[in-house]
């Protein structure tokens, strides 16, 4: 691969949307081509400026009332389900799917009970409850010491904002009986849960899986087990894991 990639290809790369084969190829090229690196940086800077400057119009409060008034749903609530709006500001996007998914996994867990399923269920729960983060911070120097004293191991907390995965926080969680540290990274409006625990009962195989639009990646390094879970596209999650492993090592 050389410098003749069209703009759309370069932008897709900067957006983390290239499929893995092309991604690896292009990154190999970037390694040795300062001109293309500069170009990608320019694209990223432009996108960041755009994202920082474009306003998101919020629905006026009366709109909810208007919608409900137009629909027969308030007159006759279905069963006794009451749904309040989640206090989740801009992050509400993937919640409905997460709720459903959490319920689905909740039912299935007894049968499949794999760690990946536990991780998926925990990811889904963390999105729908208010329990996404115990410590909310984009600063690794805040999140890292927070775990000290709460866990008997130190999950590597690294800064991946340059790669497009800013740190959002962390929490203590459990996968089945296993207490784990959960690091939360953001990707656009989605989250990545990264579960970390000592591999005393054996290292995890390196594997990836997809279930109902959620992707998981597992691996072990330096005596710790890792499972990353998110609803972002598989190649983005792969890029996240690659960047994390490189820095955590």
Partner 1 sequence: MDESAFPSAVAPATFEQALLPHQDAAYNLARWLMRHDHDAEDCVQEAFLRAYRAFDRFRGGDGRTWLLAIVRNVCYSRLRQKRLVEPPISFDEIEHSSSVATVESPWAHAAARELLPQAMDKLPDEAREILVLHEIEGCAYKEIAAILEVPIGTVMSRLARARLKLLGELQLLLRKDLSHGL
The site for partner 1 (CB under 8 A) is made up of 6-9, 11-12, 15, 17, 42, 45-47, 49-60, 63-64, 66-67, 70-73, 78-79, 81-87, 90, 92-97, 99-100, 103-104, 106-107, 128-130, 188-190, 213, 232-233, 236
Rounded to the nearest 10 degrees, how much is the dihedral formed by the CA atoms of 25, 31, 32, 34?
120
Q: Which partner, Zn ion, partner 1, none, binds residue 150 by CB below 5 to 8 Å per kind?
A: none
Q: Which is nearer to partner 1, 191 or 226 (CB)?
A: 191
Return the number of other C-beta atoms located less than 10 Å from residue 204's C-beta: 18
List, as one string, the DSSP characters of 140-209.
HHHHHHHHBTTBSS------BGGGTB-EEEEEEEEETTEEEEEEEEEETTEEEEEEEEE-TT-PPP-EEE
Beta bridge partners of 220: 225
3-state secondary structure of 213: coil
Given 1, 10, 24, 33, the residue binding Zn ion (CB under 5 A) = 33
Q: Which partner, partner 1, Zn ion, none, binds residue 70 by CB below 5 to 8 Å per kind?
A: partner 1
Nearest approach in angstroms of CB 189 to partner 1 is 4
Q: Which partner, Zn ion, partner 1, none, binds residue 36 by CB below 5 to 8 Å per kind?
A: Zn ion
Binding range to Zn ion, per CB under 5 A, among 34-42, 143-151, 182-190, 197-205:
34-42
Q: Which is nearer to Zn ion, 33 or 209 (CB)?
A: 33
Distance CA 24, CA 95 (A): 32
Q: Which is nearer to partner 1, 49 or 148 (CB)?
A: 49
Q: Which is nearer to partner 1, 58 or 202 (CB)?
A: 58
Q: Which partner, Zn ion, partner 1, none, binds residue 7 by CB below 5 to 8 Å per kind?
A: partner 1
Q: Which partner, partner 1, Zn ion, none, binds residue 49 by CB below 5 to 8 Å per kind?
A: partner 1
Structure tokens, 110? 């007894």
Distance CA 197, CA 193 (A): 13
36 near Zn ion, rule: CB under 5 A:
yes
Q: Which partner, partner 1, Zn ion, none, binds residue 21 by CB below 5 to 8 Å per kind?
A: none
* b/e code 146-182 from CB counts within 10 Å (16+ = b): bbeeebeeebbbbebeebbbebbbbbebebeeeebbb
Q: Which is nearer to Zn ion, 4 or 56 (CB)?
A: 4
Nearest approach in angstroms of CB 1 to partner 1 is 17
Q: Which is nearer to Zn ion, 4 or 249 (CB)?
A: 4
Helix axes 20-32, 234-248, angle to 10 degrees: 40
Non-local CB neighbours of 113 within 8 Å, separated by 6+ positions: 176
Non-local CB neighbours of 86 within 8 Å, separated by 6+ positions: 92, 95, 128
**Contact footprint for Zn ion (CB under 5 A):** 3, 33, 36
């Amino acid at each position: 691969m050389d410098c003749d990639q069209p703009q759309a290809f370069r932008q897709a790369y900067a957006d983390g949307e290239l499929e893995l084969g092309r991604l690896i190829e292009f990154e190999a090229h970037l390694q040795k081509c300062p001109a293309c690196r500069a170009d990608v940086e320019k694209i990223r800077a432009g996108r960041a400026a755009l994202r920082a400057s474009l306003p998101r119009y919020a629905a006026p409060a009366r709109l909810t009332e208007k919608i409900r008034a137009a629909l027969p749903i308030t007159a006759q609530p279905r069963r006794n389900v009451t749904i309040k709006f989640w206090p989740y500001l801009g992050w509400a996007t993937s919640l409905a799917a997460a709720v459903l998914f959490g319920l689905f996994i909740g039912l299935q867990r007894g049968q499949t009970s794999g760690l990946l399923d536990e991780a998926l269920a925990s990811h889904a729960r963390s999105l729908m409850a208010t329990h996404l983060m115990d410590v909310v911070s984009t600063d690794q120097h805040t999140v890292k010491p927070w775990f000290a004293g709460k866990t008997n191991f130190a999950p590597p907390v690294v800064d991946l904002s340059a790669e497009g995965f800013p740190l959002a926080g962390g929490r203590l969680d459990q996968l089945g009986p296993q207490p784990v540290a959960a690091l939360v990274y953001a990707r656009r409006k989605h989250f990545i849960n990264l579960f970390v625990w000592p591999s005393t009962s054996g290292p995890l195989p390196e594997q990836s899986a997809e279930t109902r639009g959620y992707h998981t990646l597992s691996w072990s390094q330096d005596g710790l087990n890792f499972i990353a879970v998110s609803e972002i596209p598989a190649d983005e999650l792969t890029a996240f894991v690659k960047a994390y492993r490189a820095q955590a090592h």
